[in-house]
Structure formats: structure tokens, C-alpha cells
């Protein structure tokens, strides 16, 4: 099944680095992949290696034609010294050599057209268990194969196992781009859709195996067994297609509420399926900002004032919003990288005048004193926080804080 319309327009997509210094990012580590497709946000956190040691970083070289998407070498690669890398300074200080991820001619439907224009059939390499791995695909592509299939990969295991993703699928280690169809074995619409959505940025299309005759596959209602499950096959295809189109819904929603007359909007840069541990989609926020006519606030991953400023600069939003990080450090927007004792005192002074449930007070204090952001130690150690949680009333809390504060300050 060719991925339409997303893959058919892949050469129109732009790839943008998302804050290498914030969220779960590190100079060596986590990545997030953002795409735009004819003005619509696309997949986030789409790397099959996101949780593996072999992480990759994606970014757009500013000023290049939009059809030139680039894929960085692994994060352990040496820093790039080419002039083009200097364009990335505003986005990330870790400059990694880049090479094309995929070119327009890797789109399956275009390959059919090219072959037809040349008066020949399309030459393809079949999915072969154990054999149709990257090195073989690259070899046959060099000798005239237009489109290569991977071996069948079980979608369920692929979705659940980092080991399976790293073992079953490898990205090309050089500038050579091999048009690739990734074949999945699946009997669940949700499993197939999830795997398809994850891999859409990395392949030219996906294939649902409905022909494997092996007994183990048929026993699991995979492969040829699906020939007797026509409605299931239809549901699998429909779910995958729908999943690939869903990311454009935010744009339509924004237009609806804008037309209704809202004064401003706040957008959390994650999908509802994403966990808070995953970085926000800064590229999508930037794209949405260009389509919003009212003031826009960006929510998510605002853990320091510097990051707040960076998000605002990268996306053009009118304001930033913080939740959990502000709970841990109420002085965040004052430039403090970690909660100071003064903020704890300010909170307690105000709680006395505007009471809230005692358990909530203790929870606030636990959050504020446990945060050691900015490389600073937490205000309270583990044992001290345990003692705080054992306080039975406000008087005990105040006495405890006074005692610990004087000890930690050496007074």
C-alpha cells in the first residue's frame, strides 16, 4: 500500500530540528522528528530509534529549497565544519554533517511514471525473509532495481520493542537513497496504523502482507490467512490512511475557533497520544503560528527562562506557558533555574492568608523542594522530604521548614 497522500508529497516536506538542548534532548541523545506537508503538521517523535542508543537528529538547513530534507548522521558524529552548518547556530550548537533523507524520485507513484516514460516495467526487489536487509537493497538498487521491499516485519513486536525496531529496520548510513517499501505483518488495524505512522517519514511506502503461506503466520491470522478476512483487511487499510491524515485536524480546529471570535489561543505542542516525556513539536507550533491571526501561547517543555525565550524565538508565538516546571520552580520566569528558598517563603506567607487543603500545601512544598534544576541541588534531601510528608498540620510544616532552612543556609 503506497502511503497517500502523505508520502506522495514528501518532497514538499521540511524537516526542522527541535530544541536539542531541552526536554529529553541532549548532545548525545533523544530526537524528535517534525514534518510539514503542504502547510499541515505531520508526525512527531517518529524515529524508530528514538529510545535506542542509535539516535538521529533531523533539521532543516535554513535557506535551502524546501524539497531538500536532511538527515543527520548519528549524534556521535564529529561536528560539521562546512559553511552550511553555520546556518544552524540559532537552532542547535551541535552541528552534525547532513545528507539527503529522501528525494522526489523515491515516491512510488512517480517511479511508475518514470518507468512508463522510459518504456519499461518497474523493476522491484521482493520481500525476502532474512535477505532483504539494507545492504542487499542498496546493492540491487545500484544495479537497476527501482523499488525495494524489506522482509516482513511483525507490526505488533515492532511497535513494542526497541530491539525489534533496531534489528528489523536500519536507516541508510550514506547519502545513497534507496526507494523502500516496508512490509508489515499485521492482523490489527491499530497495530498496523501505529507502525505505519511511525515509519512514514523513513520509507517510500508500506505493504500489508496478505500472501505469506507459512503455517505459523496463518495460525496467527497473518499473511495468506488475511485473504479470508476481507473486511479486516479493509479496516486495516482505512485505519492506517486515517491515522496518517489526522495531524491536519489541528489546523481545521484553529480555523473554526478563530472564525467563532476567540481573542487568543493556547496550544500544547503534543498530540493526545504523546506522553509528557516526549519533546513538544516546536516545528508544528511555528507552522501553526503562521496560520493563526490571534495571539498564540505555546505550552509544554518550558523548564527555564532561557528555554521559554528560545521557544518564542523559534516559533514566533506571542507567549509561553508552563505547568509542572512552574510547580517545581515558581521563580522560573524570574530567571531562576531552580526554586529558591525565597519562593518557598513567599508561597507559605500567601497560603496562610489564602488557605488551601493541607495535603495540597505539602504536595506543593514537595514539588518545590525536590527540584534541583540548573545543576543545583534540591532544597531538601530524600529523608527531609520524607519528614515533610509526615507533618500533620501547618504548624509542624512551618517549624520544619524554619529548622531545615537555617541548617541548609548554615545559619
Question: Residue 4: phi, psi to the nearest 5?
Answer: -125, 140
210 is catalytic: no
Which burial class, exposed, middle or buried, applies to 103 when counting CB atoms under 10 A from its CB (0-12, 13-18, 19+)? middle
Report yes or no: 204 and 147 within 8 Å, Cβ to Cβ.
Answer: yes
Report yes or no: 17 and 98 within 8 Å, Cβ to Cβ.
Answer: no
Q: What is the dihedral of CA 8, 14, 20, 23, to 10 degrees?
A: -60
Residues 240, 191: Cα–Cα separation, whole Å: 9
Residues 324, 2: Cα–Cα separation, whole Å: 41
Helices (H), 354-389: 358-370, 382-389
Residues 325, 5: Cα–Cα separation, whole Å: 38
- Annotated active-site residue in 80, 210, 212, 218: 212
For the chain, the straight-line distance linking the first and the last C-alpha, in angstroms and rounded, comes to 71
Please list the active-site residues: 212
Amino acid at each position: 500500500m503506497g502511503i497517500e497522500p502523505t508520502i506522495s508529497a514528501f518532497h514538499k516536506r521540511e524537516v526542522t530540528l527541535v530544541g536539542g538542548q531541552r526536554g529529553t534532548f541532549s548532545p548525545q541523545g533523544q530526537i524528535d522528528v517534525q514534518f510539514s506537508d503542504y502547510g499541515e503538521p505531520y508526525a512527531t517523535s517518529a524515529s524508530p530509534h528514538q529510545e535506542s542508543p542509535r539516535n538521529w537528529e533531523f533539521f532543516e538547513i535554513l535557506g535551502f529549497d524546501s524539497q531538500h530534507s536532511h538527515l543527520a548522521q548519528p549524534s556521535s558524529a564529529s561536528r560539521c565544519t562546512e559553511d552550511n552548518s553555520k546556518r544552524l547556530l540559532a537552532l542547535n550548537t551541535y552541528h552534525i554533517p547532513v545528507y539527503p533523507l529522501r528525494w522526489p524520485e523515491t515516491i512510488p507513484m512517480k517511479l511508475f511514471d518514470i518507468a512508463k516514460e522510459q518504456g519499461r516495467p518497474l523493476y522491484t526487489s521482493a520481500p525476502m525473509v532474512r535477505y532483504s536487509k539494507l545492504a542487499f537493497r542498496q546493492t540491487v538498487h545500484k544495479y537497476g532495481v527501482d523499488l525495494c521491499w524489506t522482509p516482513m516485519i511483525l507490526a505488533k513486536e515492532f511497535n513494542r520493542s526497541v530491539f525489534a525496531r533496531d534489528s528489523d529496520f536500519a536507516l541508510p548510513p550514506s547519502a545513497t537513497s534507496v526507494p523502500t517499501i516496508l512490509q508489515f505483518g499485521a492482523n490489527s488495524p491499530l497495530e498496523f496504523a501505529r507502525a505505519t505512522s511511525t515509519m512514514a517519514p523513513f520509507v517510500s511506502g508500506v505493504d500489508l502482507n496478505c500472501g505469506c503461506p507459512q503455517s505459523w503466520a496463518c495460525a496467527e491470522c497473518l499473511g495468506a490467512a488475511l485473504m479470508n478476512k476481507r473486511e479486516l483487511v479493509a479496516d486495516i487499510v482505512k485505519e492506517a490512511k486515517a491515522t496518517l491524515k489526522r495531524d491536519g485536524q489541528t489546523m481545521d480546529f484553529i480555523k473554526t475557533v478563530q472564525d467563532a471570535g476567540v481573542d487568543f489561543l493556547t496550544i500544547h505542542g503534543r498530540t493526545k497520544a504523546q506522553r509528557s516525556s516526549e519533546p513538544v513539536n516546536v516545528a508544528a507550533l511555528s507552522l501553526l503560528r503562521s496560520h493563526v491571526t490571534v495571539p498564540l501561547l505555546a505550552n509544554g517543555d518550558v523548564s527555564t527562562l532561557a528555554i521559554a525565550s528560545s521557544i518564542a524565538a523559534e516559533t514566533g508565538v506571542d507567549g509561553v506557558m508552563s505547568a509542572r516546571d512552574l510547580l517545581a520552580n515558581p521563580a522560573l520566569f524570574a530567571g531562576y533555574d531552580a526554586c529558591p528558598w525565597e519562593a518557598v517563603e513567599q508561597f507559605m506567607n500567601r497560603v496562610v492568608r489564602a488557605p488551601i487543603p493541607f495535603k495540597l500545601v505539602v504536595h506543593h512544598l514537595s514539588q518545590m523542594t525536590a527540584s534541583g534544576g540548573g545543576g543545583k541541588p534540591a532544597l531538601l534531601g530524600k529523608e527531609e522530604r520524607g519528614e515533610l510528608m509526615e507533618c500533620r498540620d501547618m504548624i509542624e510544616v512551618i517549624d520544619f521548614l524554619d529548622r531545615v532552612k537555617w541548617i541548609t543556609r548554615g545559619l
